[in-house]
Structure 1
Amino acid sequence: MVTLLENYPAFLLIFMRVTAFFVTMPFFSYRNIPNTHKIGFSFFLAWIMFFSINPPPIEVNGQYFMLILKEVLLGLAIGFSAYFILAAVQIAGSFIDFQMGFAIANVIDPQTGAQSPLIGQFLYTFALLLLITTNAHHLLLDGIYYSYQFVPINQPFLPMGNENIIEFIITSFNSMFIIAFQMSIPVVGSLFLVDIALGIVARTVPQLNIFVVGLPLKIIVSFIMLILTMSALFLLMSQLFETMTYTMRGLMELFGGGGNQPT
């Protein structure tokens, strides 16, 4: 077995892929986790993966810098593919907030530091708890480990211009919005019926101030529907985790030109 000191260029490539993966991956890339912990965890994970995959000897030459760039791009792409699938929860919350009237106010997401809708952040917190409870975050680590069976460490470039990759990314975005629509349709549909009822009341009883009655009524109906459909939302979140895993796997297969099936 090749030792780490004899093949340190290969270890550096593994470390670059794992570190770039942690930059964009859900849960592990959040600001709550100190950067020193991220780097240390990346180092020890790369150490374990080095002796697991037993990479071939790699020389430091002009092509080596292209390999470093390829590893960084691959890690960012795999992590981002998992992140934007999980972002369907916040998109569903945006749909609900828009109908509730909460879209005027956003909150700061402590994990990412970006602004997010109120209901979206509420649902996203439940999604993260479900992610940890079902050990789905282990699947993310499996994804970066099995990526070497699809994209070898000595592959010089990624086929970024492949039309199949572009089609796959568009299909993944489509799946993300479909799941977001499925998560939000019970509340959004109920609020649409409330809007119709308020419109009928406004035409039949002009003396009633609909703007005073409508907003509290829509908020009450929204929270009632969220309570009633919470179990269905958790089922959709579980489906979202499966879609996230399949997206990572499919993207790695396309980057590797088909790749081998993991054992």
Structure 2
Amino acid sequence: MDELIPSLAVYLLVLTRVTAFFVTAPLFSYRSIPATHRIILGALLAWMLVYSIDAPELEIDGAYLLLVMKEAMTGLFIGIIAFIVMSAIQIAGGFIDFQMGFAIANVIDPQTGAQSPLLGQFFNSLAILLLLALNGHHMLLDGIFYSYQFIPIDQLWPAFGEERLIEFVVRTFAASFAIAFQMAIPIVATLFLVDLALGITARTVPQLNIFVVGFPIKIGVSFVVLFITMGVMVQVMRKLFEVMILSIRDLMVLLGGG
């Protein structure tokens, strides 16, 4: 019994970090995955991690509660930073929808339960399939495994709230916004030229109802450009996955005091 209690204490800490990671991480936090399945997966993963990491013996006391809070915040932070990077895909879809005129036709994203632009939903579904095809879910699970090398389980309080951490989150969000702009710029720039041409047409032919003619033209041009640049979009998504993994690693280094 004396040997069981320290093992149980370590298991509960690992389970806290893993389940907190599943709450915010892309793919694992989606509503399409039943909560029961996520709990079972988290419990099995935590059970394997207990025997894979070099965990010291711990006792359940007052300091243990602080360790539980630290583990929960660590898992949430790692998942949130990955979610911020992946949100660039929906931001790019929002840019394109706004220029196309689809901004008023948002739909409910069944994965997150939030409103999502039409093309943002399409890009998000494509990114999920690409992430699974490239074994990105394995890389996410590797991130939670290697987090114990940077943030030991018995480290009482990582570098939460430090200026470097805040600056890192801001830079990550800015990089995600830049990637979203790179994804949207081919279609947005093309639609700007279409708007310019329609404006010139409206000035030269005032009798033409430019709003009735321009809307289907913009939609058609957008889909043509999207079809042409789809290969580039996929490559940018792959680059986005690399940024996500590197951001997770850098975050763990900062939280571990590196």
Same fold by TM-score, threshold 0.5 exceeded?
yes
Contact between 1:4 and 1:11, CA under 8 Å: does it hold in 2? no
Task: Give the equivalent residue in structure 2 for 1:155.
Answer: 155
Task: Give the equivalent residue in structure 1 for 2:73.
Answer: 73
Q: Deviations over 1:215-235 (max 9, x none)?
A: 000000000010000000000
Task: Give the equivalent residue in structure 1 for 2:164.
Answer: 164
Residue 54 of structure 1, CA deviation:
3.1
Gap runs ≥5 in structure 2: none
Distance in 2 (alpha carbons) for counterparts of 1:4 and 1:256: 28
Residue 247 of structure 2 corresponds to residue 257 of structure 1: no
Residue 158 of structure 1, CA deviation:
2.4
2:76 partner amino acid: L
Distance in 1 (alpha carbons) for counterparts of 2:92 and 2:101: 14
Distance in 2 (alpha carbons) for counterparts of 1:242 and 1:20: 22
1:202 partner amino acid: A
Residue 14 of structure 2 corresponds to residue 14 of structure 1: yes
Residue 167 of structure 1, CA deviation:
1.1
Task: Give the equivalent residue in structure 1 for 2:173.
Answer: 173
Name the % identity: 58
**Aligned length in residues:** 257
1:231 partner amino acid: G
Indicate the RMSD between aligned Cα atoms, in angstroms.
Answer: 1.1
Gap runs ≥5 in structure 1: 259-263
Distance in 1 (alpha carbons) for counterparts of 2:95 and 2:154: 44
Residue 234 of structure 2 corresponds to residue 234 of structure 1: yes
Task: Give the equivalent residue in structure 2 for 1:105.
Answer: 105
Distance in 2 (alpha carbons) for counterparts of 1:76 and 1:3: 30
Contact between 2:6 and 2:59, CA under 8 Å: does it hold in 1? no
Aligned 1:78-227 pairs, distance under 5 A:
78-227=78-227
TM-score of the two chains, using structure 2 as the length reference: 0.98
Contact between 1:28 and 1:38, CA under 8 Å: does it hold in 2? yes
TM-score of the two chains, using structure 1 as the length reference: 0.96
Contact between 2:19 and 2:75, CA under 8 Å: does it hold in 1? yes
Distance in 2 (alpha carbons) for counterparts of 1:41 and 1:54: 21
Distance in 1 (alpha carbons) for counterparts of 2:47 and 2:200: 67
Contact between 2:191 and 2:221, CA under 8 Å: does it hold in 1? yes
Contact between 1:96 and 1:187, CA under 8 Å: does it hold in 2? yes
